[in-house]
Amino acid sequence: MTPLRQRMLDEMTLRGFSPKTQLAYIAAVKGLADHYGCSPDQFRIEQLQAYLLHCLRVRQLSHSSCLQILHGLRFFYLKTLRWTSADLDLPRPKQAQVLPEILNRTELEQLFGAVDNLKHKTVLKTTYAAGLRVSEVVRLRIRDLDSERMTLRIEQAKGAKDRYTLLTATLLGALREYYQIYRPAVWLFPTSQDPRQPLSIRSVQKVYARAKRQAGITKQGGIHALRHAFATHQLEAGMPMHHLQRVMGHHAIRSTLRYIHLVEQPSYLIEGATDLLAPRRQGGGERQA
């Protein structure tokens, strides 16, 4: 390992960056060095700007990938090499504002109904009912469920922060049914091959894609659509914005506010509004999501 890379790793470790972030930032600087074929401490600002343009125009990387590269380069030059902000004029790539397509209650019922495997069905229900990222649902442990306080503890989520989210009565019932059959010991959703290991992110993504295909759902988006649906449906049911921010684990309120644009019919507060897996009430009081 070069002294320069070690310095960068030390700086990130001191700031408590997650291993995943450290790998991404190191990869960003390595990509720059490989592109020009020399040490990254030898470049001028014009070369950094040209490299970002290359990522956008030639490699046609996604906005999120380019943004991650930008963050990695900014950290390296500002924190490791101690450049000043005035020396590092790297504009943030602007992202086109594309609103996700939100699954409605009928589509969610069709999605869950298309899954025969109880473990897979429960994984999808948990992802939706608790508003989780896929990386969070696969890391749930038995000890994270608190049926007395009706909460799910999310340990070291994005931003290296713990938080609590909702454990509704309907989800608790589904989890108990699942537990009676599978009896997981540590991880809530372990692999069949090795109970000591949790399901992989990729395997759960495949479960969602297969269920969506079998349910005949054509709306765009991967399993993160369940988290989008959770947030939108909670707002429509009347959950206060600051409460939703805490449940979703958003650092900035602006991340939560974007769901305002997805709400079709803001609703009044109704009894059990947070239990979105519960059967819909019949008659005139039924809420359509």
By annotation, the residues acting in catalysis are 133, 158, 224, 227, 250, 259
d(CA 191, CA 184): 10
Contact 215, 114 (CB under 8 A): yes
d(CA 48, CA 46): 5
Contact 55, 66 (CB under 8 A): yes
Q: Which two tokens stand for residue 102?
A: 């939100």
Cα distances (Å, whole numbers) of residue 274 to 134, 136, 153? 20, 20, 17
Look at residues 124, 167, 174 and name the one whose alpha carbon lies nearest to residue 144: 167
d(CA 106, CA 221): 17
Residue 35 sits at φ, ψ, to 5 deg, of -65, -40
Look at residues 132, 7, 28, 8 and name the one whose alpha carbon lies nearest to residue 70: 28
Contact 70, 90 (CB under 8 A): yes
Q: Which two tokens stand for residue 273?
A: 């509004």
Instruction: For residue 146, give the 3-state DSSP assignment.
Output: strand
H-helix segments, 130-216: 134-137, 169-182, 201-214
d(CA 253, CA 275): 23
CA distance from start to end of the chain: 54
Sheet arrangement for strand 151-157:
145-146, 151-157, 161-166
